[in-house]
Amino acid sequence: MRIISGTAGSVPLRVPRSLTRPTTDRVREALFSSLASALPGASVLDLFAGSGSLGLEALSRGARSATFVDAANDSHAAMQENLNKARLEGGKTVRRDVFGFLSGILADSYDIIFADPPYARDEETTRDLDRLLQHEKLPSALRENGIFILESLDKSPLPEAPLWEVSKT
């Protein structure tokens, strides 16, 4: 696992040993290719950050800042190590439950929000995905014309989410 491109391109990343499944290089390359014009100067939020690969890639490609949120101690340590190794400015790690973090968030804070929650494979993880998509503070944390990116299993349908409109899958 590595940062693909930008100022920190090719820097290897530490992946936490906990139950994370980092976004593959191929998926990140496609995602960031489509985000190229939105990244310069952007403020990014990386929820369920794990290793921080999405936010780190954004910083490497010109984002102004990235806030990484994950409750797991191993993830927090990996994110800190990866930020130091990549020598990227503007990164801030938060060791906190995503829902607790969102409850205290200010409105219109981020241009891009990445969310990579545990895949909805059972009742509990499906409930968490629904809880994320229904969270009243999540839409208000996104600036006008901001971009929300959710990673999920392609085999599992997304729960009803009247606050959101899917524009690309």
Mean of pLDDT values over 77-84: 95
**Distance between CA atoms of residues 23 and 49, nearest Å:** 10
pLDDT at position 108: 67
For the chain, list the domains and their CATH numbers.
Answer: 39-150 (3.40.50.150)
pLDDT at position 71: 93
**Distance between CA atoms of residues 64 and 41, nearest Å:** 4
Mean of pLDDT values over 71-87: 94
pLDDT at position 105: 87
**Distance between CA atoms of residues 42 and 62, nearest Å:** 8
Taking only the tens place, the pLDDT of each residue in 97-120 is 999 999 998 766 899 999 988 655
Q: Is the pLDDT of residue 147 over 80?
A: yes
Output the average pLDDT for the chain: 87
* Least confident stretch, 5-14, 55-64, 116-125, 127-136: 116-125
Residue given tokens 């599992």 in the structure block: 156
Q: Count other Cβ atoms within 10 Å, centred on residue 1.
A: 15
pLDDT at position 43: 98
Sheet holding 43-47, edge to edge: 91-95, 65-70, 43-47, 110-115, 142-150
Residue among 90, 80, 25, 26 at smallest CA distance from 59: 90
